[in-house]
Structure 1
């Protein structure tokens, strides 16, 4: 069952405690900070005031029927309840009430750091009247308080327009009004509060959380990129919108084949793929919805067999992904005796495991066609991982090349890490990216500017090791650059010695 369906059957009080605990678990808020709310039917539920945010009993969740003037429950609601109500009301007034059913407020470290930027504010009167700030504060690439989502395609797609609300006393009606104004002026989902934190809305807590971590991860990578000495290079908004539109047009159609028999090998690969997805999430190499993992299925010997592979779905929580959530994609080829020729670009067919009567069908990752293109160009590549880990993404933000030759381990595992622009990588359904890989020459990892990291391998373990070591070495490199320059990589002679020692039998 898809994780989004699982979320729908969990009692709202339990759901709030689970997501608040998850915020704390990933150090995205503190013991005293952060609050969540959801609307279920005609009732609003909100986390309580005070207490330990890591452990909130479900029975302490406050609630009130929409239109009522007071909350029910043994503990008063969060002091920020006016802010939550203001967010819902602003979305209702803009006819988005069906799209906005959850509000998340948290104090994540990097976004809080962004909110401290002065931006020529009057330091003597941080609580100034809002009437002095009538201009539209939605996404401004020159505003140092706002991480520019145009720097990473995934963040742009997840977050939309980001706004800044002026400082106001926490829990005050003034703060609620400021948030109302920002959402009313066009903020899609995220508001940064000056000197405070962040407010995110979504159609579910999962979507709100995903938008939140997408922006926080982008902010982290922007901070990490500073030692590289290169400016982050945003893509023009019209280009990103065109790419997003193309991704939707290329969305893999969903079919259900009741006659398809799943082999034991496929079942084992499903289990392995889920294991590595959850492992990557646990190591913060991917977020709750970012990243796509795929694995090729072996041919069954049928003359009609072409390319078949498993891939992660779109929008399913990576922490809780299950074998049944994965999508099976197949690209058949014509047998020699067929009279009707099949197109050279035949449609990928998706076969979800879920029964047609299921309340929700998962859809394959929007990057599915890019995965298929790589598989088609490289019969010796069986696994593909697309991710945005924070340190490696710092290199993707700037387009700065990454040298793998600082340590023997990284030189052995990574060998030659390539860098591509977004345009080069994604043209013709990823053909530019596919042609860059060359496993025989040790090119198994590519940093795609404004996109993320793509690693490949003969097995899930090999592709994952590539990703893990790449992120580790990007972290080491960036930390070393904060201490000294220039850095001292292995010499040409040392690299040759390592190559001969580890690859002499290859």
Structure 2
């Protein structure tokens, strides 16, 4: 894909995900000739076309119908400082701007996913936008080995080996920041130690053996289409980042189809999904790292036919704060979710043991929420209800003392809706 098209695709995604404004932010790619392709200045980010993207040639010549972004000097400074980077994203996403204003660097060690994708993060003192001084301050952090930088009272800038790598880092960084803010609103933010992280990686990195061949009857193909639809919907609803979150559906017996590892969720096609059969993975494919957890849930719970695992930012506010998520907010929340409890980071054996008809949803601290049900749409609905309820609790806490539904009302709901 031409750099122009890559830039248009990513800026559109950033804009539609609410991570930049019409006039804010800029993106660039350094091509193999040493020419820099960059977003234009003062052109609507919600309606950019490939023809709008500017080129700053290696010799400094500017080609295109507009002015290049006024920030392109610091993009060039990053490329000069770290030649391995070929893409830069700068924007003003709300959560990261909050850290920028507070002059605090988010601790990306709150979850394995954010630690993996965000990389090393630094802080650059304030500089006049578009100035050489700002470029020097930012480049100095990248020289130190940072992969992303909080810009004092400005926003953030990240770089990647290609545009997808940069976007993955940018999105994960904002996702991480949202989760931290939600956790701190609830009380505190717990992070993972190096030992916890290494133990987790050792546990989830063990691959299932490959199967010799896979069959794909029409019923299995239908499941694949349903999973792709729910993955895209989850990303649109901001309950799953492009880089992390998993969906699986039981196919037959204890066999199932699951999200692959290390693919952007909104890019996944039906043929990318991974079939798991008799404890073996489809040849030539790698399932998501949570595959063994999904496998054990299906084995233990015959009534569960679909699973979603994701670090949805409001739910994980509770998971990172290690706070109880009380679903007794409105009748719908309790009917759909009943009681939702927290379990220790990485304790998948406990999670498998507690799931059941009365416990369709659990939170694994600093890792994910696990949602189960019969049909995939029901599972997604429960995830939505859970995330919306968590959002109401996080936001409602600043209004006043929250008043949950009482025990008598819960008992009435139990008798009427759950038999």
**Matching residue of 2:341:** 418
Would the aligned equivalents of 2:128 and 2:134 in 1 still touch at CA under 8 Å?
yes
| Structure 1 residue aligned with 2:416 | 501
TM-fit CA distance, 1:225: 2.8
How far 1:64 sits from its partner (Å)? 4.2
Kindly indicate whether the alpha-carbon contact (under 8 Å) linking 1:91 and 1:184 is maintained by their aligned counterparts in 2: yes
Contact 1:328/1:351 (8 A) holds in 2: no
1:413-452 map, 5 Å: 413-423=336-346, 425=347, 430-439=348-357, 442-452=358-368
- Aligned counterpart, 2:179: 221
Aligned to 1:115: 100
Name which of 139, 160, 174 aligns with 1:180: 139
User: Distance between the aligned counterparts of 1:407 and 1:30, measured in 2?
Assistant: 34
Q: Is the 8 Å Cα contact of residues 102 and 203 (structure 1) preserved in structure 2?
A: yes
Q: Which runs of 5+ in 1 are unaligned?
A: 1-9, 119-144, 300-306, 333-347, 353-361
Q: CA deviation at 1:363?
A: 3.0
Change (3 A) 1:364 1:44: farther
Name the counterpart of 1:328: 275
| Residue in 2 that maps onto 1:373 | 296
1:262 Cα offset (Å): 0.8
1:54 aligned onto 2:46: yes
1:254: how far off? 6.0
Deviations 1:149-190 (A, max 9, x none): 111221111112211111111111111111211111121x21
Q: Which residue of structure 2 lines up, in the alignment, with residue 356 of structure 1?
A: none
Partner of residue 364 from structure 1, selected from 271, 287, 294: 287
Q: Give 1:315 shift.
A: 2.7
SS at match of 1:381: coil
- Normalised by the length of structure 2, the TM-score is 0.94
- Match among 266, 284, 303 for residue 220 of structure 2: 266
Other-structure match for 1:34:
25
Q: TM-score, normalised by structure 1?
A: 0.79
Moved more, 388-397 or 72-81: 72-81
CA distance in 2, matches of 1:254, 1:78: 49
Corresponding residue to 1:231 among 182, 188, 192: 188
Post-superposition CA distance 1:181-226 (Å, at most 9, x none): 1111121x21110011111111232222222121212222222233
- Rounded to whole Å, the distance in 1 between the matches of 2:15 and 2:191 is 31
Aligned to 2:70: 79
Distance in 2 of aligned mates of 1:44 and 1:254 = 43
Equivalent runs, 1:84-483 vs 2, <5 Å: 84-92=75-83, 97=84, 100-117=85-102, 145-187=104-146, 189-228=147-186, 230-247=187-204, 249-252=205-208, 260-299=214-253, 307-332=254-279, 348-351=280-283, 363-423=286-346, 425=347, 430-439=348-357, 442-483=358-399
* Cα distance in 2 for residues equivalent to 1:146 and 1:37: 24
Deviations 1:244-273 (A, max 9, x none): 3543x3245667x5x533111101101111
Shift of 1:90: 2.1
| Deviation (angstroms), 1:53 | 1.5
CA distance in 2 between counterparts of 1:250 and 1:102 reads 32
What RMSD, in angstroms, separates the aligned Cα atoms of the two structures?
1.9
Shift of 1:402: 1.0
Secondary structure of the 2:82 match is: helix
Per-residue deviation, 1:308: 2.0
Alpha-carbon separation, structure 1, partners of 2:252 and 2:230? 19
- The 1:183–1:313 alpha-carbon spacing in structure 2 relative to 1, beyond 3 Å, is same
Render the CA deviation track for 1:277-296: whole Å, top value 9, x for unaligned: 11111111111121011111
CA distance in structure 2 between the partners assigned to 1:154 and 1:246 by the alignment: 15
How far 1:274 moved relative to its partner?
0.9
Distance 2:406 2:413 in 1: 11
Moved more, 413-422 or 211-220: 211-220
Q: Does residue 492 in structure 1 map to residue 410 in structure 2?
A: no
Q: Deviations over 1:64-118 (max 9, x none)?
A: 45x43333223232121121122222222xxxx1xx3211011111111111125
Q: Please say if residues 289 and 314 of structure 1, whose CA atoms lie closer than 8 Å, have aligned partners that are also in contact.
A: no
Moved more, 453-462 or 216-225: 216-225
